[in-house]
Structure 1
Amino acid sequence: MAVEIERKFLVNKVKWQEVIKPEGSYLRQGYLLTDPEKTIRVRVKKETGYLTIKGKNEGATRAEYEYPIPVKDAEELLDKFASACITKVRYEIPVDGKVWEVDEFSGENAGLILAEIELNAEEESFTLPDWVSEEVTHDKRYYNSQLSLLPYKDWQGK
């Protein structure tokens, strides 16, 4: 079984502005299914489409299956079948042998910046960059699937 072990953190916006970043990638993604037990996502990144199926989180671990699909198919699936879409620019920042994926959200989630790191084991140690702040791995509001349903701009008491 394909497995994803991922931890998620908020980003300190002031410190993040000081980081020298590589060119980011614009992503558009939407959900064909958002269920507490599973999600089915379609994503367009550059000239490639992806179909991703994720299982229920067990801690920071969940089943994940991702397949490239033609970008035209991905765009049609997003336009015709996705319940809601999110957009963001993703930066990949290497830190001590690991890659942090930092997402600057746009649209209805503008103002939110999240950093994710994929691990080989939940207890694996890693370096926390100084621009990373609070861990939100277990806060479902920060799941992309949830952000598509209840965007950041609509949260009370951010």
Structure 2
Amino acid sequence: MAVEIERKFLVKGDAWRSLGQGKLYRQGYLASTQQRTVRVRVAGDRAYITIKGKSSGIARSEYEYEIPLGDAIEMLENLCDRPLIEKIRYRIDYQGLLWEVDEFMGENHGLIMAEVELADVDQSVVLPEWIGEEVSADPRYYNSNLAKHPFQSW
């Protein structure tokens, strides 16, 4: 089984902006329950379908497959719940780990969040100075929940 181990944090300041290039991501949810989510994502000129299981702490099962870009665009436009999640993702290497900083747009505008994937739930992490409060355990910050309850409505 594929397992995703991920910690999420709010981002403070703008020091991170010059550290990585941004890429537009658009994603939507075909199914979203407490037990599983099924997501379609377009990242630049590539597309993916991802199935995630229920979270257990900072870990959960995850299966991701590349799919044809045209199919993903059709699914986003015709099958996914609204609103779609739109964000610019910046990939930043720091202290041997890859951080992904998401600057949300649309109905989640104003939210900037960073996540880091780990090899083990107990792996130690050196936090960059632009990392703020940890929100890994707060389900409001799951992308699937941001699609149901956008940040601007909080």
8 Å Cα contact 2:15/2:130 also seen in 1: no
Counterpart for residue 32 of structure 1? 30
Once the two structures are TM-superposed, the CA of residue 93 in structure 1 deviates from its matched residue by 0.6
Counterpart for residue 6 of structure 1? 6
Counterpart for residue 95 of structure 1? 94
Q: Hey, what's the Cα distance between the residues in 2 that align with 1:19 and 1:83?
A: 30
Secondary structure of 2:19's counterpart equals coil
Q: Hey, what's the Cα distance between the residues in 2 that align with 1:45 and 1:59?
A: 27
20, 40, 43: which one pairs with 2:41?
Answer: 43
Aligned residue pairs, count: 153
Counterpart for residue 105 of structure 1? 104
Q: What is the TM-score normalised by the length of structure 2?
A: 0.97
Q: Hey, what's the Cα distance between the residues in 2 that align with 1:55 and 1:147?
A: 17
Q: How does 1:1-158 map to 2 (within 5 A)?
A: 1-12=1-12, 14=13, 16-17=14-15, 19-84=17-82, 85-155=84-154
Runs of 4+ in 1 over 6 A off after TM superposition: none
Q: Hey, what's the Cα distance between the residues in 1 that align with 2:18 and 2:88?
A: 15
CA RMSD of superposed structures (Å): 0.9
| Identical-residue share of aligned pairs (%) | 51
> What amino acid is the match of 2:124?
S
- Structure 2: state its 5+ residue gaps: none
8 Å Cα contact 2:21/2:90 also seen in 1: yes
Once the two structures are TM-superposed, the CA of residue 126 in structure 1 deviates from its matched residue by 1.2
Structure 1's 18 and 30: CA in aligned 2 closer, same or farther, altered over 3 A?
Answer: closer
Once the two structures are TM-superposed, the CA of residue 20 in structure 1 deviates from its matched residue by 1.7
8 Å Cα contact 2:36/2:53 also seen in 1: yes
Once the two structures are TM-superposed, the CA of residue 18 in structure 1 deviates from its matched residue by 6.0
Q: Hey, what's the Cα distance between the residues in 2 that align with 1:117 and 1:17?
A: 17
Once the two structures are TM-superposed, the CA of residue 25 in structure 1 deviates from its matched residue by 0.6
